[in-house]
Amino acid sequence: MAAAALTVDHLTKTFRLHSEKNNSLKMLIAGKKRNRYEEFTALRDVTFDVKEGEVFGVIGENGSGKSTLLKCMAGILQPNAGSVHVSKRMSALLELGAGFHPELSGRDNVFLNAAILGMARREIAGRFDEIVEFSGLESFIDSPVKTYSTGMYVRLAFAVAINVDPQLLIIDEILAVGDVTFQQKCLEKFVDFRNEGRTIVLVTHAMNSVKDMCDRAIWLTHGVVTGEGDPAELVEAYTEMMLGDRNRNEDGSVRRGSGEIQIERVELFVGASETPVKRFRTSDSIRLRLHYRAEKSVPKPVFGFAIEHLGGATVTAPCTRDVGLLPASVSGEGYVEIAMDNVAMLPGTYDLHTSITDFNRQHEYDNLHLALRFDVMTGKPYETGGLVTMRPTWTIQS
């Protein structure tokens, strides 16, 4: 068993919520207007540990206590009861740039912020060029931080935090900072940390990230741990709870959305056949058909499919907007079909989720979670590892 890099033991954190404010010291002393408050328990008797080299996830809806927990782990907040023990050098990516001084240059702030995160000046000097290169702000490093855009500010802060050589990294919803290029650098750095066996605690609303990246996770509900263990199982239970049983159909699918247009059913066909099936073989050609009904005209709807390995990663998630298929409007009944030739998915069980949104992909008219569950059976080429085949060509020379 690996040793614990971080231990949270019966942690409780409360806050005072003041319902009234005294307008003057005189009124407070005279007692004519009492300063009333209620105690709010953000965390109650939270206990868990994170093993060395483990990627540990924390999930829960807004207001569940996730950020309070991370701030207690980072030492920003002190618990009312219980304790947090950290055995490794830690860097917390919670409030980027919290130690930056706007009047100082980027260079001065690198040294200041890195010192706050526990690095000695000699260490900072040795890593300075690497930090600046990672941020991409070489041309602005001697300018005052107050002249930086928000994106530049965040990039420099992230570059400092990620390069202090932590053995324990605590991350709160900030893997996707800056532009697309910088986001890719951040993700690559995260993967490097995981591959190097560093310990990571991750809080995110991106459930696929929890399933794909984490070894274990906990689920917080109103400050109490209501689940701990396998990330895929926790995410499934959390998603079901968030969507609500009232939207669950007899076949296990879950529906949400405003309802101007609805998904009637989804069918899977192999080849040119018009007989719906729920299984096919690797390298078969298939068609997915989404039947819809719109009670009134809906402008520029976007239809999307997402294929997810059972309890695992998303294999593909195409939508009609990706290929410029954007009808001016739809109404009444119809269907959308997507054809996939020579499918590369390997044997296993997969779930199909479908959605209809507005053009911006922000407003959901309908989302049918688990619209169809299907199986892929052995075909050609015969492979057993992974989710898809790359159809390799092998050569052995002796």
In this structure, how many other beta carbons lie within 10 angstroms of the beta carbon of residue 71? 19
- The phi-psi region of residue 342 (left if phi > 0; otherwise alpha if psi is between -120 and 50; otherwise beta) is left
Q: Which residue has the higher pLDDT, 179 or 194?
A: 194
Cis peptide before 381 (omega within 30 of 0): yes
Residue 216 has pLDDT above 80, yes or no: yes
Residue with more model confidence, 125 or 190: 125
168 close to 5: Cβ distance less than 8 angstroms: yes
Contact (Cβ atoms closer than 8 angstroms) between residue 40 and residue 14? yes
Domain spans, the chain: 1-88+210-243, 254-377
| Distance from C-alpha of 68 to C-alpha of 125, rounded to nearest angstrom | 33
Q: Please give the share of the chain, as a percent, with pLDDT higher than 70.
A: 89
Residues 6+ positions from 195 with CB-CB distance below 8 Å: none
Is residue 222's pLDDT more than 90? yes
The residue-averaged pLDDT of 7-22 equals 82
pLDDT recorded at residue 35: 59
Report the percent of the chain where pLDDT is more than 90. Answer: 49
pLDDT band at 314 (very low <50, low <70, confident <90, very high): confident
pLDDT: is 112 or 99 the higher one?
112
Residue, of 84 and 244, whose pLDDT is higher: 84
pLDDT category of residue 141 using cuts at 50, 70 and 90: very high
pLDDT in tens, 253-312: 788 889 999 999 999 999 999 999 999 999 999 999 999 999 999 999 999 999 998 866
Query: Do 1-88+210-243 and 254-377 agree at the fold level?
Result: no
CB-based burial label for 208 (10 Å; 0-12, 13-18, 19+): middle
Q: In this predicted structure, what is the pLDDT of residue 25?
A: 60
Task: State whether CATH 2.70.50.60 applies to domain 254-377.
Answer: yes
pLDDT for the residue numbered 45: 95
Whether 357 and 304 have beta carbons less than 8 Å apart is answered as yes
Mean per-residue pLDDT, 339-346: 96
Lowest pLDDT segment from 50-59, 87-96, 357-366: 87-96
Round to whole Å and give the CA distance between 53 and 97: 27
The mean pLDDT value of the chain amounts to: 86
Average pLDDT of the segment spanning 332-357: 95
Q: Identify which of 135, 153, 136 has the alpha carbon closest to the alpha carbon of residue 144.
A: 153
pLDDT at 97 over 70: no
pLDDT, tens only, 15-52: 987 666 655 565 555 555 555 778 889 999 999 999 99
**CATH superfamily of domain region 1-88+210-243:** P-loop containing nucleotide triphosphate hydrolases (3.40.50.300)
